[in-house]
Amino acid sequence: MVFRVECHCCPPNTCDWQEKKLVLKLSFPSTTRVSERTFMDRCKELVQGEHAWVLNHLPDIIWSFDIPFRAGSPQDNLKKKFGDADEMRVLRGVIQEELKPLVYLKTAKECAQVFYDVFQCHHRVWKYPEILHRDISQGNIMVHEKNGKIYGVLNDWDLAIWLNNERDGPTSLFRTGTKPYMAHEQQSVNWEGPHRYRHNMESIFYMMFLFVCLYSKPNEKVSHIEANNYEYEVWHRSDDCFLHLTKSTVVNTALFDPPVTPFFIGFFLWLTELQDHLFMGFSSLRIHIKQAAKQKASHSDKLLPFDKETLGGHFSYKQIAMILHIFNNEQLTTHGLEWQKILEALSQDGASQDE
């Protein structure tokens, strides 16, 4: 639940909260779940100097509080009856600056920059301070406007985890995310984790795919009569089993032809290129699994290495950045100096090869 709130704590114009447009977000996480504010405070602390750009793409959380359930409440009684089997929850409030939804955007290029911003932000926070978001969805991608400039913000870090944190071990087995955007492997009945960086990248792919096929403009959904796009509308109401199968078809088809609406036609190339990389990645993963089975059958212990984090290098950060840093033949803004240099060098390599 999200509410607009105002600060009435002190006389007018004496408190810096009064200048801000604030929202209060209420949720009921389990008591063991790390607060979004803890993650964001860690980012503010560690993301400095050359990397400070990332703070423009994260929510500005200024306060958070937890209210435990009181003695004698239904929660408390359930705990007494069920003991460890009952997961205790708290009422958690977070106060942050209000952000704008994607409908606020005007052009396809603005949307592309916002998605590219979110991709870059996700990478920075994953790399250092090593936090994995785990819930990429259309609703969690917001827009922040400052001094006439627009910034894409990756919002809602309440399902995030510290990378390699063993205390989070058991919970990482649970599926987390928003169904239409979850990586297809996570929606399989056989899913056992771990949640990897590339699963969030696959979510970014589905998020863009649904957005540019189901919206005729950022603030206008396509009419249901247009049956071609309607088949993807049902993703918003489908269960894991259906979505696992449908998305498996999307990533494993050699004939991917997304029904992008005319306004978003520039995204056609992005989507088909990203799908190409997913397609190649999952094909190599299948080959790897077959080889491993053969080797096991012949009792050979020479297992060929395969990087599951990036699907054998096909769906890595670098590969995706190569696609997303250009939209409709125009350069988008790449924020980190390190990546500006890498992409420039790669583009020059590509150009000289073309010649």
Interface residues with Zn ion (CB under 5 A) are 7, 9-10, 15, 17
Closest CA to 179 of 133, 132, 230, 241: 241
Question: Smaller CB distance to Zn ion: residue 63 or 128?
Answer: 63
Question: Smaller CB distance to Zn ion: residue 98 or 309?
Answer: 98
Question: Smaller CB distance to Zn ion: residue 64 or 272?
Answer: 64
Shortest distance in whole angstroms from residue 123 CB to Zn ion:
36
Q: CA 154 to CA 135: how far, in whole Å?
A: 10
Question: Smaller CB distance to Zn ion: residue 10 or 173?
Answer: 10
Contact 231, 212 (CB under 8 A): no
CA distances in angstroms from 52 to 55, 150, 154, 316, listed in the order given: 6, 16, 15, 23
Question: Smaller CB distance to Zn ion: residue 20 or 89?
Answer: 20
Shortest distance in whole angstroms from residue 37 CB to Zn ion:
18
Ramachandran class of 267: left when φ > 0, alpha when ψ lies in -120 to 50, beta otherwise: alpha
Shortest distance in whole angstroms from residue 271 CB to Zn ion:
46
Q: CA 237 to CA 213: how far, in whole Å?
A: 16
Bridge partners (DSSP) of residue 66 are 92
Question: Smaller CB distance to Zn ion: residue 8 or 318?
Answer: 8
Question: Smaller CB distance to Zn ion: residue 6 or 338?
Answer: 6
Shortest distance in whole angstroms from residue 61 CB to Zn ion:
16
Shortest distance in whole angstroms from residue 10 CB to Zn ion:
4
Long-range contacts of 35-42 (CB under 8 A, 24+ apart): 35/64, 35/66, 35/92, 35/94, 35/158, 36/61, 36/64, 36/94, 36/156, 36/157, 36/158, 36/160, 37/61, 37/63, 37/64, 37/94, 39/131, 39/157, 39/160, 40/157, 42/129, 42/131
Place of tokens 């993703």: 235
Contact 125, 67 (CB under 8 A): no
Shortest distance in whole angstroms from residue 93 CB to Zn ion:
16
Shortest distance in whole angstroms from residue 6 CB to Zn ion:
9
Q: Residue 102: phi, psi to the nearest 5?
A: -60, -25
Q: Which residue is nearest to Zn ion (CB)?
A: 15
Q: Where are the alpha helices (DSSP H) in the chain?
A: 36-46, 74-82, 108-127, 197-214, 227-233, 240-252, 267-297, 317-324, 337-354
Shortest distance in whole angstroms from residue 3 CB to Zn ion:
17
Instruction: State the DSSP string of 85-98.
Output: GS--BEEEEEEEE-
Question: Smaller CB distance to Zn ion: residue 15 or 26?
Answer: 15
Q: CA 37 to CA 93: how far, in whole Å?
A: 10
Shortest distance in whole angstroms from residue 17 CB to Zn ion:
5
Question: Smaller CB distance to Zn ion: residue 60 or 309?
Answer: 60
